[in-house]
Amino acid sequence: MLVVMKMEATVSEVEAVVRKAEDNGLKAHPIPGAQRTAIGITGNLGVVEPTAIEALPGVLEVLQVSHPYKLVSREFKPDDTIVDVGGVQIGGRDLVIIAGPCSVESYEQTLGIARRVKAAGAHILRGGAFKPRTSPYSFQGLGLEALEILARVREETGLPVVTEALDIDVLDAVAEYADMVQIGARNMQNYTLLRRVGQCGRPVLLKRGMYATLTELLLAAEYILDQGNGQVVLCERGIRTFTDHSRNTLDISLIPEVERISHLPVVADPSHAAGKRNQVLSLSQAAVAAGADGLMIEVHNAPEQALSDGLQALLPDEFDALVGRLRDLASVVGRNIPTFASSA
Amino acid sequence: MLVVMKMEATVSEVEAVVRKAEDNGLKAHPIPGAQRTAIGITGNLGVVEPTAIEALPGVLEVLQVSHPYKLVSREFKPDDTIVDVGGVQIGGRDLVIIAGPCSVESYEQTLGIARRVKAAGAHILRGGAFKPRTSPYSFQGLGLEALEILARVREETGLPVVTEALDIDVLDAVAEYADMVQIGARNMQNYTLLRRVGQCGRPVLLKRGMYATLTELLLAAEYILDQGNGQVVLCERGIRTFTDHSRNTLDISLIPEVERISHLPVVADPSHAAGKRNQVLSLSQAAVAAGADGLMIEVHNAPEQALSDGLQALLPDEFDALVGRLRDLASVVGRNIPTFASSA
Amino acid sequence: MLVVMKMEATVSEVEAVVRKAEDNGLKAHPIPGAQRTAIGITGNLGVVEPTAIEALPGVLEVLQVSHPYKLVSREFKPDDTIVDVGGVQIGGRDLVIIAGPCSVESYEQTLGIARRVKAAGAHILRGGAFKPRTSPYSFQGLGLEALEILARVREETGLPVVTEALDIDVLDAVAEYADMVQIGARNMQNYTLLRRVGQCGRPVLLKRGMYATLTELLLAAEYILDQGNGQVVLCERGIRTFTDHSRNTLDISLIPEVERISHLPVVADPSHAAGKRNQVLSLSQAAVAAGADGLMIEVHNAPEQALSDGLQALLPDEFDALVGRLRDLASVVGRNIPTFASSA
Amino acid sequence: MLVVMKMEATVSEVEAVVRKAEDNGLKAHPIPGAQRTAIGITGNLGVVEPTAIEALPGVLEVLQVSHPYKLVSREFKPDDTIVDVGGVQIGGRDLVIIAGPCSVESYEQTLGIARRVKAAGAHILRGGAFKPRTSPYSFQGLGLEALEILARVREETGLPVVTEALDIDVLDAVAEYADMVQIGARNMQNYTLLRRVGQCGRPVLLKRGMYATLTELLLAAEYILDQGNGQVVLCERGIRTFTDHSRNTLDISLIPEVERISHLPVVADPSHAAGKRNQVLSLSQAAVAAGADGLMIEVHNAPEQALSDGLQALLPDEFDALVGRLRDLASVVGRNIPTFASSA
């Protein structure tokens, strides 16, 4: 921590900062400069709120040097974490494709799409049971019925299943039925839910809030790891910006930064970022080229009849073509898209 | 709803859009233009997902004409809603001041600050019992103990109390102890919590998410009203932007827009927007001048010892001076800051 | 400057940073910490590019402690700068109102509006001669003819005139005709234009780019002061954010921050920020309550016939009412709106 | 254009809108709805400012249906534009790599880097002669001397040269020396400069402003095409967002959207977007995978001594490795990186 004093700060104000640090068992290193004094503070910084120092007289600002997360950092655990979802490994050399409809609408619809995406090369089935909807008047998901449908479709196809736990009420049910529990973007800072999912015994797909910095995303994951659950996959799904040609802006640079800072795998969700089918292909390719460990893509056999987000779902034929393209791309960046036999 | 066809759309594609609308009981009004055809669609639009139409062949885009909220809109209820919080009226001519510490830290601290802010002119006491913290290693609030402290301080001072319900687990307890339940910015789209707070029988202070549009804020309130609870106060607390001279950007223009579109009261939280004490004064004055129905301001007697957000808390003396200034401002904009006797 | 080393940085990498600093005549103060070393660097930091150090092996990041501007800072010049525009003082106790049409459309229109706003209490006339338009097919302003109209209207009314210099080609003409030269938001980082306006001998109204941080705005002003022209007024006109209920978001918190950091006056342009007439009133009041030294407001007698931005222009009657309200507000915040006689 | 009337709009207010449209030679198509009336307006909409209609009584809002650009749109010119830069074709099947130092610092430095990037596979040399710098105290470029250096290095290496024209004063010199004129992000809405570069007879590299929407970028290009210069390449270089792990956010989705809407080529500048060397590799790969027609990459032989932006420059060896990787990627997406012989 670096404490920057105001130009007009007095000697006794500098001393008060030093004392405050030492009272908390920290070391203070004053650096007198031409214009002003700065004070480096070292030790276990977790014991003191930076604002407690920033509020002292004569202090101009406090700069944080070390990052507030620990368990998720590569400095703490240098080796890549590999997350196992019903036998599918995320975070290793394999590039994992998660695909399926936005919402589970019926057994027939879900099974049909699951068979199609499996044939095309997908490894994990996605499908919303509980849907977070901006309007109370929109379709809210089939709920428990959808969980049962997903379980039956898994039995039919062998595809592990990921679906969102919308709140702590339904978390147990989701963890019972699904192979991986998704925490949605709107819940990235729902700390109660994060703690509970850290105790649920299932791997977690943690989506970045559309307003969240990388540090905030990593701290959300830290809540989960802090409860003993290290099986967390981060998901970049687009941030909110001023642009209007896509629903959100896929923040590709997050992918190499996560790789550099954290040992957790990171996948991309180009469907929700784009909000438009025609961008999904390009963004999927971009995410793989940038080093993503996997993709989550919405596929629907009849998008114009979808109960939610039909506009961004790929048609099965488009998905076939995309996976073909991704196979070639993956090999260029040193990855491999396994055929289902090898991962099931 | 206006459906804009592509320039190269065929006659049969236009007809398919018309048919889709009519199949849903709607009326379609094709508008042939020089370059392309548009189709106005009228009727009860809630029955059809816009994306179901946007996904049809030949469609360029779908523009929404009517807004997706109803109960919160002034078109639905022209008269201002007045929310009663333990005898204090928010949304009428009175300008209401909510003040107190960021976190409840002890009985003595809370009582001391409560007495001070009451003497200065505040009408409602704020104080966090359950704190949403970005890091799992930060102080998370005293929880139930804090609720009991708030209740005792209310008894001592007569000030009604508002505090945040962080999740559905603690909602009942918060609703039992507090006069008003706060939904925090990070929970603005926690739909389960919104529905429950819509059934809790207490007035609600709904904070805008730092990434939320006005429409999303109004739809979050719609979730609450849809459950039968019309006692909702909206709160502007700053949005996330690229700027770095304040923690968030207080979006002053939201205040007159809410006034125009909705019958719900709107207050401002300059403390969280600014993140810095020296901006709180200016932003408070600006919010009142722009027509806010009230303010929520953090006050702490020893900010440098605060367990959270000390940097943005006003000192009691600063708060005194601010309220004095606000009294004069309020009268200029046709408002009144009642003395406590008249509101208790 | 604080150089933060990576945890795994070697002793010789730390030494290389120290040497680099000393080679540039600076002093280096290594601060060994529990986890990593940081190095405080003091002296005349302008001589070294931070990136030259950040690019050294073992360096994690470089934190800037001092700010890159000088002439504009209150540390450099503690007293408020007062800018004189044809006898009107901006930056002192008086609150200055600049008003007029978006574009100069004709002599009659401009004179009519000028008389109206003068009668209402405005001190300076605004009116665009050269208009920066997003589309090449929009009205681009009357150019030189407009400058002559403005000069004639000044003669008739006694109101000093401010208008935008769109580029270096027209700067001389603008500086010849106008009492104050406006640099538009799109030109805030047009460094050639900034330098020239720094030599033009006229006071400058510098609008903040809609994407600019406070530091960037101050550095843009520094370009002007660096050429010897200290008569600069900053103008907050809204930043681009994700919101859609206003054209831009007026960043009220910039006003107290400028006041704290810089000696330059700051005014607000609520018309361009809002883009909607009904928000202009509230934002104007908010800006004054927050401490702005003045306002720039668009007024048009027939907004539905305006050649640009009619939607945000106040009607003369609305402007009358606003100025009345602002007089009362100004006195509450210790300001005064002078009647024209006293300022002319 | 769709005019949406307020719910309480009167019949005569609707008629006034119809009349206003017809007075401008347009056709009006009223669409009476259950709750409100909308009015479709067709014809040559360029003749009327939307705000002129939005300002009429009873109007709620005006929705734009057609886009304001023409010459740049694929609807206007369906075939891809191919831009020829000294014999190098941008916009065809070839993927073009522009590389070089941020700033031209000396003949030896520029020649050394040029030889290295040519050997690695680059097709065009970049190098700043006139640098737009946020601070007036930063290195501003060698100016004319740099133009001469670039010309000599072109003679030595055969590489065509692109460099920025910072203002209209230096445009003629830049156009004389360089094979392609760059318009920087800060100048994207410098309309005078855009018009002049539209007359300069050289191909143009137009960088997107960090705050600009796609529509604004296309309208900036429209200014150039409108002057008769159709040789324009768009460049995505990152937008300003709230994130802090990269300098800007590379907006990958712009690439497929430009491809869909416009016939102009689009390249990406990952160096300026990232601001950090370690992200440049990933972003370069992502941009090619998303369909970019080329890349512009900063390379420096001694980044820690660079006079500007050293932190984001690749080392020559890193650049070699990147181009190797890009060759493989290009072939997967149907592109080809020509060896220099074939393009020179």
**pLDDT tens digits along D110-130:** 999 999 999 999 999 999 999
| Edge-first strand listing for the sheet containing C59-63 | C27-32, C37-42, C2-5, C59-63
Asked if C282 lies within 8 A of B325 by C-beta distance, the reply is no
Min Cα separation B177/chain D (Å): 38
Asked if C260 lies within 8 A of B278 by C-beta distance, the reply is yes
DSSP state of B337: -
Confidence of residue D264 (pLDDT cuts 50, 70, 90): very high
Residues C151, C111: contact at Cβ < 8 Å? no
For residue A66, what pLDDT is reported? 67
For residue D47, what pLDDT is reported? 62
Q: Pick from A251, A274, A287: which is nearest to D249 by CB? A: A251
Q: Which residues of chain A register pLDDT less than 50?
A: 342-344
Chain B residue nearest residue D61, CA to CA: B65
Average pLDDT, chain B: 91
> Is residue D187 less than 8 Å (CB to CB) from chain C?
yes
For residue A152, what pLDDT is reported? 98
> Is residue B219 less than 8 Å (CB to CB) from chain A?
yes
Six token digits for residue C25: 């005549």
Asked if C133 lies within 8 A of D310 by C-beta distance, the reply is no
Min Cα separation A31/chain C (Å): 7
Full-model pTM: 0.91
For residue A288, what pLDDT is reported? 98
pLDDT above 70 for D137: yes
Average pLDDT, chain D: 91
pLDDT above 70 for C44: no
Asked if A2 lies within 8 A of C36 by C-beta distance, the reply is no
pLDDT above 50 for D18: yes
Confidence of residue D45 (pLDDT cuts 50, 70, 90): low
Q: Give dist(CA D119, CA D121) in Å, integer.
A: 5
Q: Pick from D211, D305, D309: which is nearest to C211 by CB? A: D211
Closest CA to B180 of B240, B233, B103: B233
Chain D residues whose beta carbon lies within 8 Å of the beta carbon of residue A290: 282-283, 285-286, 289
Asked if C136 lies within 8 A of D191 by C-beta distance, the reply is yes
Cα A4 to Cα A39, A150, B152, C49, D117, distances in angstroms:
6, 56, 41, 20, 43
Q: Which helix (H) or strand (E) holds C110?
A: helix C107-120
Chain D residues whose beta carbon lies within 8 Å of the beta carbon of residue C166: 191-192
Full DSSP string of B140-202: ---THHHHHHHHHHHHHH---EEEE--SHHHHHHHHHH-SEEEE-GGGTT-HHHHHHHTTSSS
SS3 D270: helix
Tell me the mean pLDDT in the region B124-137.
92
Structural domains in chain C, CATH included, are 2-63 (3.30.70.1140), 83-332 (3.20.20.70)
For residue A342, what pLDDT is reported? 41
Q: Pick from B191, B306, B308: which is nearest to A132 by CB? A: B191
> Is residue A45 less than 8 Å (CB to CB) from chain C?
no
pLDDT above 80 for C80: yes
Chain B residues whose beta carbon lies within 8 Å of the beta carbon of residue A139: 49
pLDDT above 60 for B344: no
User: Which chains pack against C, by 3+ Cβ pairs within 8 A?
Assistant: A, B, D
> Is residue B42 less than 8 Å (CB to CB) from chain D?
yes
Min Cα separation A47/chain B (Å): 9
Min Cα separation D238/chain A (Å): 10
Chain C residue nearest residue D300, CA to CA: C55
Q: Pick from A191, A303, A306: which is nearest to B132 by CB? A: A191
- Summarize pLDDT for C88-123 with one digit per residue, the tens: 999 999 999 999 999 999 999 999 999 999 999 999
Task: Count CB-CB contacts under 10 A for residue C93.
Answer: 13
Handedness of CA C284, C289, C291, C294 (dihedral sign): positive
Share of chain D above pLDDT 70, in %: 95
Chain C residue nearest residue B324, CA to CA: C332
Chain A residues whose beta carbon lies within 8 Å of the beta carbon of residue D214: 243-245
Q: Give dist(CA B328, CA B306) in Å, integer.
A: 31
Q: Which of B10-19, C210-219, C224-233, D225-234 has the lowest mean pLDDT?
A: B10-19
Q: Pick from D244, D252, D257: which is nearest to A286 by CB? A: D252
For residue A151, what pLDDT is reported? 98
Tell me the mean pLDDT in the region D241-260.
96
Average pLDDT, chain C: 91
pLDDT above 50 for D344: no
> Is residue D215 less than 8 Å (CB to CB) from chain B?
no
Six token digits for residue C239: 């930043």
Window 84-113 of B: residues touching A by CB (8 A cutoff) are none
Task: Count CB-CB contacts under 10 A for residue B132.
Answer: 19
> Is residue A319 less than 8 Å (CB to CB) from chain B?
no
Q: Pick from A215, A278, A289: which is nearest to D286 by CB? A: A289
Q: Which of D69, D172, D189 to mutate to test the interface with C (most CBs of C within 10 A)?
A: D189
For residue D135, what pLDDT is reported? 87
Asked if D34 lies within 8 A of B40 by C-beta distance, the reply is no
Q: Pick from D49, D54, D167: which is nearest to C192 by CB? A: D167
Confidence of residue C25 (pLDDT cuts 50, 70, 90): confident
pLDDT above 50 for C343: no
Q: Which of C53, C130, C137, C218 to mutate to test the interface with D (most CBs of D within 10 A)?
A: C137
Chain B residue nearest residue D3, CA to CA: B65
Chain A residues whose beta carbon lies within 8 Å of the beta carbon of residue D254: 243, 245
Q: Pick from C186, C219, C306: which is nearest to D189 by CB? A: C186
pLDDT above 60 for C272: yes
Could you list the beta-strand ranges (E) of chain D: 2-5, 27-32, 37-42, 59-63, 83-85, 88-90, 96-100, 124-126, 161-164, 180-183, 204-207, 232-236, 266-268, 294-298
> Is residue D70 less than 8 Å (CB to CB) from chain B?
no
For residue B171, what pLDDT is reported? 97
pLDDT above 50 for D342: no
Q: Which of D262, D282, D314, D325 to mutate to test the interface with A (most CBs of A within 10 A)?
A: D282
DSSP state of C90: E
For residue B343, what pLDDT is reported? 41
- Summarize pLDDT for A106-143 with one digit per residue, the tens: 999 999 999 999 999 999 999 999 998 888 888 889 99
Chain C residues whose beta carbon lies within 8 Å of the beta carbon of residue B287: 286
Confidence of residue D46 (pLDDT cuts 50, 70, 90): low
User: Which chains pack against B, by 3+ Cβ pairs within 8 A?
Assistant: A, C, D
pLDDT above 70 for D65: no
Phi, psi of D193 (to 5 degrees): -65, -40
Cα B166 to Cα B141, B236, B310, D50, distances in angstroms:
11, 18, 21, 46
Of A42-51, B1-10, B27-36, C159-168, highest mean pLDDT: C159-168
Q: Give dist(CA B215, CA C132) in Å, integer.
A: 31
Question: ipTM of this predicted complex?
Answer: 0.89
Chain B residues whose beta carbon lies within 8 Å of the beta carbon of residue C274: 253
Who has greater pLDDT, D85 or B277?
Answer: D85
